[in-house]
Each structure stands twice: as C-alpha cells, then as structure tokens.
Structure 1
Amino acid sequence: MSKKRILVVDDEPDFVMLVKKYLEKAGFQVEMAFNGVEALEKVHANPPDGMVLDVMMPEKDGYEVCAELKGDEKYADIPIVLLTAVADHVSSTRYSHFDGISMKADDYLPKPASAEDICESVKSLVD
C-alpha cells in the first residue's frame, strides 16, 4: 500500500523540517511548501491526502488557502490541520480560533504545537 501524502505548509523552514521528520517516522510521505501560493500550486498539480497549514504566511495566508480549497469541490475533502501562533484571547485580529473553525478546517492547533500533536491530528484525519 502506498504511503499517504501530507503537504506541510509553513514559512519557517526549521518548523517544516521538524514536522516532516515526525510525519515520516509515522509512515507518511511528506511534501513541503513555504507559502500559500506554492501550497495551492502543489495541491492543484497533485492533491495530497492531507495538509498541515500555517495561518500566518506571506503572499497568501492559511485562511485564504483553506477557504479556496474548501470552496472547491475538487479539493474540499482534503483534511486540513490549521496551525496558528495567535492566542485564543486575541479576538481583535482576524487570526482567532473562531476563524479557524469558521474556515472549515478539519482541525486547529495553536502554535507552538508539538510535532507529536500535529502528527496525531494528521493520523486521526487521514487514516
């Protein structure tokens, strides 16, 4: 059986590498993208089985990417774990827990989420 492919999207390369290492150890094949535009290009070229998507990124943020994918029936079924460094108690920004849920993300983890937590979330959504 082929491994499930997960696209990890974050503008912090060190974080992407850490998550990649954990997901590979858990048996996933991992692709990487470092901004929302690159993520969408990769999804359109070869849709992954799941995504780990940072919210705050240059060019196109995670909310925009999530909204675009969930709004397109061709990609709406791809499970998305949204990650954000913004605290729940900051309600004055557009980056809040509520927004993550309203974006129809399949899971939502505050940063700093551990690579283990991210891995568990991906496993529960993709397996």
Structure 2
Amino acid sequence: MSEKKRILLVDDEPDFSMVVQAYLEKEGFATELAYNGLEGYEKVKANPPDAIILDVMMPEMDGYQLCAKLKKEPAYAEIPIILLTSVADHVTSTRYSHYDGMSMEADDYLPKPASAEDITASVKRLLGQ
C-alpha cells in the first residue's frame, strides 16, 4: 500500500480544523494542524506536506503572506495550496477580498463556510486522486 498523502491544515479556528482533519483522515489522508501562519511555515520547513490548506485571516502571518512566501521558495513552490476565507465575494475594500485571494498563486480558493467534503474534493483534485 502506498504511503498516505500528508495535508497541512493551517487555520486559527480549532473546532473547524478538527472537523476538516477528521474528514481528511477518514478519506485516507494523514493530516497535521497549525493554528497560525508562522507555525504553518515552521511545519512546512520541518516536513513539507503534499498539500496545504490555508485560512486567510490568521494571527502572526496571514494566509496570503504564507502563500506568497511558500510560492517564492523553490523547495515549496510546487506544493498545492488551497486558500479558505470567510470574506464575502463582493468585498473589495479590504486586503482580504475575494479578488486578492484569486490573484495569489494559490492552486484553489474556497469561500468559508466550505464543507469538509468540498475541501477534500479540492485536495483530491489537486493531488490527482
């Protein structure tokens, strides 16, 4: 049997993270959690995952900052990244707008509340499963 694909979920909402983690693990993925962008970056450096799910609005380093940082580093640039945000699609007056998310080099962008099923489907698609 092949080794499980590892997913890093970076989100500052523990309840949401645990629900998504449980669903990903039920679908056969190994998961690791981080609760802010800085912690997420340290975990990527320590053991690069196969894919990353990033909340946008987080303390320490937000999802946009972490996404940009990882995509600029050759060792991590090819890791698929899914951005999650609760910012409304029509909001354009903040740096957390849908437009800003779409302009990042993320591989997918899902609005919250994204279901665990939608997130898992995106992960599977990005990993060719």
Superposition deviation, residue 99 in structure 1: 1.2
- Unaligned runs of 5+ residues in structure 1 are none
1:1-127 equivalence runs, <5 A: 1-127=2-128
Aligned partner letter, 1:58: P
Question: Percent of pairs identical after alignment?
Answer: 69
Instruction: Supply the distance in 1 between the matched residues of 2:117 and 2:16 (Cα, whole angstroms).
Output: 13
Indicate the SS of the match to 1:3. Answer: coil
What is the distance in 2 between the residues matched to 1:120 and 1:26? 10
Q: Hey, which bits of structure 1, 4+ residues long, moved more than 6 A?
A: none
Q: Give the letter aligned to residue 87 of structure 1.
A: A
The separation in 2 between residues aligned to 1:22 and 1:99, in whole angstroms, is 28
Point out where structure 2 has 5 or more consecutive residues left out of the alignment: none
**Superposition RMSD on alpha carbons, in Å?**
0.6
CA separation in 2, counterparts of 1:96 and 1:90? 5
Distance 1:111 1:16 in 2: 12
For residues 20 and 69 of structure 1, what CA distance do their matches in structure 2 show?
Answer: 22
* Cα distance in structure 2, aligned partners of 1:78 and 1:2: 17
**Aligned pairs, number:** 127
TM-score by length of 1: 0.98
TM (normalized to structure 2)?
A: 0.96
**Deviations 1:1-51 (Å, cap 9, x if unpaired)?**
100000001000001000001100111000000000000000001100001
Query: Residue 63 of structure 1: CA displacement?
Result: 0.2
